Structure 1
Amino acid sequence: MPPLVYLDHNATTPIAPSVLEAMRPWLYERFGNPASDHPFGRAARTALDQARAAVAALIGATPDEILFTASATESNNLALLGAAQALKARGRHLITSAVEHPSVVQPLAHLAASGWEVSRLPVDGHGRVDPADLARALRPDTVLVSIMHANNEVGTLQPITELAAPARSQGALFHVDAAQSVGKIPVDVNALGVDLLTLAGHKFQAPKGIGALYRRAGTPLTPILHGAGQEGGLRPGTENLAYAVGLGAAARLAAERLPALSERLRSQRDRLHAQLAAAIPGLGLNGHPEARLPNTLSLAFPRVTGRELLAHTPNLAASIGSACHAGETTISGVLAAMGVEPAQALGTVRLSLGAETTEAELDTVAAALIAAWRGLTAN
C-alpha cells in the first residue's frame, strides 16, 4: 500500500518539531508553578509571560488581552456565556450565523433555554453572511454577535470587518471564532474590529489541550469557572505551562512564515483542484471560490458518496461532508445551510493541507482519488 497521506489539517495538525523542543523542558525539569514566589515559580512566570506575548503579537493584541484556556471550545464558552452574563442587564438578544461550530451553537442554545433570544443569520450559497442581514437583525437589546472567521468545513471566510463595525457601533460586542484562521492567514484583531476572538493551538501545530481567548481591554466578561485568580481572575486553575509555552512557540513560528505559507498552500490547493477537475467531469466546489482558507478544498464528487470514495482510497486521511447516525446518513449542517443539494453534499470530501504537505503527496492523492472515482462510476 502507498504511504498514508494526511490531508485533514482542519481537524488537527501535527506538533511542529520546534514547538515540541520549546515545550520539553517545561514538561519535566522546569516544573514550577507560575504563582510561586521562588526561582522555580519566577522562571515559570517568565515563560508564561513570554508565551502570552507571542500569542498577542500574532494577532495584533497586547499581552494583557490574552487569556489561556484548555481549548477553543472553552474559549467560546467563556466568550459567549461570560459576555451574556456580564451584559444581561442591558439586553438579552444575541446574534449568530447558521454555520457555526458546535462549541458556539451549544452555549447559545444553553442561553436560549435560559431566557436569551438568539437570532441566526442565513448564509448564501458560498457560506457567507450578508452584512445587510446583520444590520437588519440588530436591535437596541442586542448585546453580543458571534460569527466565525473561517468555516472549518468549506473554508469560507466571513467579511468580519464589515460585520463587526455596525454591531459595535450599536453597542453590541462582537466575538469571532478564529480557530480555523489563526496560523493559516494573517489575523489582526484591530483590523477586524472585534472585542473577543477565539483561537486553538492544535489547529496550527501546537498541542491539543491549549487555546486562548483574546479579550479587548475593557470588554465586560464574567468568569464561568470559579476558583483562584489566574488569568486575570477570568480563568481559574494553575496554568498548563508546558502547553502554553508550546502555543507561544507555534505563534512565533506562524508569524515567521506567514504570509509565505498561505501563498504556498493556496498554490498547492489550486494545483490539486485543477488535477482533479481535469479528470472528473462535474466535480463541484463547496465554499467561496476566492474568500476561503488557502489550505481548504471542499469538493463534491459526482455519482458517488464521499464515504465510499474515501473507503476506496485507503492511503488518504481526509473528511467527508456527511455523517452516519444509527445507520442513516445525514448531510453536514453547514452544507445544508448553504443550500447545497443532498447528492452534492453526500459526495463531498474535504481536503485540508498543512505546512508539511508536499507536491509529491498531492500527486499521489490526485491519482488515488481519480482512480477510485473512475472505478466506482465505471458501470
Structure 2
Amino acid sequence: MPRAIIIVLDSVGIGHAPDAADYGDAGANTLGSVFAACRTGRGDREGLRSGALQLPHLTRLGLMRVAGLGEAGPAPSTLHGAAVETSHGKDTPSGHWEIAGAPVHFAWGTFPDTQPALPASLVRQIMDDSRIPGILGDRRASGTEILRAFGEESIASGKPILYTSADSVLQIAAHETHFGLDRLMALCAAARTHCDPLNIARVIARPFTGETADSFERTAGRRDFSVAPPSETLLDRVQANGGTTWAVGKIADIFSHRGIGKILKGDGNMALVDATLAAIRQAGDGDLVFANLIDFDMLFGHRRDVPGYAAALEAFDARIPQIEAALEPGDLCILTADHGCDPSFAGTEHTRERVPVLGFGPGIAGADIGVRESFADIGASAAVHLGLDPGRFGTAFVQTA
C-alpha cells in the first residue's frame, strides 16, 4: 500500500488570495516579499546570509513557478499549483483542518484590540480555577514584546501573562521553572474550558526561560490546547482504515489529538525535519505522516524578520534531497502551507494568502494542477492516494494509487 506525507511550511504563503482585502491584507505576499528583499539587500544579515534568495530544490519542485517569481525555467516534474482557503479566518487550526478536509464555515470568537482585551468574567473564572494572584498583559501583543514588557514582573509576582492577537487565541506565558511547566499546563487546561463558550480556537501555553528582559527565550515546551475539528478529517479516515497518523511538531495539538497515532517533536525547523524523516522511515503501508515546520511563522513571520525568514527557507531547501531520498515507490509527499505571515507587511499578524501545493514521489507523474478552490483538495488527494474515501470536502488532483 502507498503512504502519504504532508509537510506544512507554516506561513509560507504566495500572495494573491482573492479575498485578502476583506482581511486587511491586500498586497501581502510572504514568499514574494522575502524574494524581493533578498534582491535589494534587505534580506542580508552579517553572519547569517546575503544576496539573492537561493532555493534550488524548491525551485526545481515548482515553488517559484507557482508563486510567479523568477525565471519560469523548464516545467517541473511534480504536481504543482496553488490553493485558496475557503475557511473563515487566517489562523493555524482553520488552515490545517481545511488541508485535512474539514474547512471552517463559521466565525471564530476573538478578543478586541483594547486594553484590557479579555472579558473580566473570563479572567475571574481562570483565576478562581487556578488560584493565581492575578494576571499581566491582557492585550493584543507579539510574544517577544509581551515578554520584554512583563516577564520580569511575572517572575517576581507569580502572575502569568495573558495576551491575544487578531486570531482566535488566548496565549498564556509563564516562566518554566519559577512558575512551573506543569502548573502552566494545568492553567491552560482550565482556561481552555472557560474559552469554549466564547468559541476561541486555541489556548497556547508559552513557557519561557531567562531571568531578565534581555535574556528571556520561549522554549519548546509550548503546547496548543485546541478545540476538535468540526467534522471528520483525513486523520480520522486513516485511523479508521487501520493506518497510523504520524504527527510531527504541533499537528497533534492542532487536531486536539484526534486521529493521531504517533507523536514526534523537535525544537526548531531542522529538528522537525529530522523528526519527519524518522517518521517516514518508520511509517508503514497506508500511513500518513503529517508535519508542521513552525519556525517560518513563529520566529520570523510574526517578528517581521526578513533575513531570518530567508535563511530558514534556504535551510529547509537544503534538506529537500534527504526528504526525496527517504520516499519509497508509491509514496506521495505534498509540500504546502496553512496561511501567510508576510514579514514585510504591516503589523505582526498572519496574512490571508494562497498557498503552494507541490506533490512529488517515486513514480508520481508531474502536472500543472492550477489554483485549487480549497485547501481541502490536498487532503482529498492524500486520501485517494491512500485508497480512502476523499471525504466530504475537496476534489482530488491525483488518481488512485
Give TM-score, length-normalised by structure 1.
0.28
Give TM-score, length-normalised by structure 2.
0.27
Point out which structure has higher relative CO (alpha carbons under 8 A, 6+ apart). 2
> Going by fraction, where is helix more abundant, 1 or 2?
1
